[in-house]
Amino acid sequence: MRNVKKIFAISAIPVAVVGWALFRPELLFVNKTVREKLPTMSGQMAKTISSGDFMSYAHETKGSAKVVSVDDKQFVQLSNFSTSNGPDVHLYLVSGNDASQDAVKKNGYLDLGTLKGNIGDQNYEIPAGTDLSKYQAVSVWCARFAVAFGGASLAGKEAFVFHKDQPLVQLAAFGSPIEVTYGSFMGSKMLSGRAAIIEDEGKRFVELNLKSASPYELRLVKKESLMNGDFPSAQFISLGKAMTGKHRVAISKDIDAWLYRSIAAVDSKSGKTVGYVLLRSAQEKKNLA
């Protein structure tokens, strides 16, 4: 029996080594910071072609991305950037203006190389001859597991308008609204419809589209799941009273959409949860299906 256990233990060693090499779990806890200036030979100012803010997908991702031109070269410039570390993470320039995980797989991408660091300012040269009218989004992509950590849709070329007695005002075009997570109401016959956390014009909202609604208080809850009954001991953000029809409630960009995963409908008299939404990404729903 001891020999069997010894053989099993010895045979398990290569499996563990292979598993470690594949998953590299320690990379989730080791940050690498980069402080890189935009390379230039002539000292000329960089011209911004397009820009956008990152939104989170599989991991919280923050900062901005710009496509800039300097010295007859183009770069993707990441500023105030941060994401989780991980194995084999790349920066992709994505075809189209949708940075979601499904869009990366469907529309195609241009690999700009391995991520230089998960924190800090950095630059990635775009190959000469790239059609920038085609590639209008960037993705922080874990190639090992085919997962998008985060992404940014890039707005069109900036424009400037002069208003009398006022300084120049910078205008920017923005892409279509992007759903981060979404779900349908469950647990109550008095409440039906759907809810989603969305990114639109660089801002974040909870978008509610209710077919029927009783005057319950809606709460965005920092919790993976909910059920009817006593409201859990968890952080939440009040979204106001449930109303029939479609409307949005603005929330801070600092809120991690991957931690606030539920919406509760709470009865004001009893203080109990009487309906709920479990917020999930399109990729999560696809995996569950």
Number of independent structural domains in the chain: 2
Locus of tokens 């208003």: 163
Kind plus residue range of the DSSP H or E element containing 287: helix 282-288
Cα 161 to Cα 116, 169, 171, 172, distances in angstroms:
37, 6, 7, 11
Q: Which of the listed residues 148, 171, 194 is the one where a domain comes to its end? A: 171
Residue 213 maps to a domain: yes
Compute the distance between CA of residue 79 and CA of residue 94 in angstroms, rounded to an integer.
Answer: 18
- DSSP, collapsed to helix, strand or coil, labels residue 149 as strand
* CB-CB neighbours of 94 under 10 Å: 26
Q: Do 33 and 121 fall into the same domain?
A: yes
Q: Do 166 and 207 fall into the same domain?
A: no
- Which CATH number does the domain housing residue 52 bear? 2.60.40
Residue 8 maps to a domain: no
Q: Do 211 and 229 fall into the same domain?
A: yes
Residue 13 maps to a domain: no
Compute the distance between CA of residue 100 and CA of residue 89 in angstroms, rounded to an integer.
Answer: 16
Compute the distance between CA of residue 93 and CA of residue 70 in angstroms, rounded to an integer.
Answer: 18
Q: Tens digit of pLDDT per residue, the chain (289 long)? A: 555 445 444 544 444 444 444 444 444 447 899 999 888 766 677 888 999 999 998 888 999 999 999 888 999 999 999 998 888 999 999 999 898 888 999 999 999 999 999 999 999 999 999 998 899 999 999 988 888 999 999 975 433 333 333 333 333 334 467 888 899 999 988 889 999 998 887 788 999 999 988 889 999 999 989 999 999 999 999 999 999 999 999 998 778 777 899 999 999 899 999 999 999 987 777 777 6
Compute the distance between CA of residue 143 and CA of residue 59 in angstroms, rounded to an integer.
Answer: 14
Structural domain harbouring 158: 28-38+45-171
Residue 102 maps to a domain: yes
Compute the distance between CA of residue 37 and CA of residue 116 in angstroms, rounded to an integer.
Answer: 13
What pTM was computed for the model? 0.50
* Res 122: pLDDT: 96
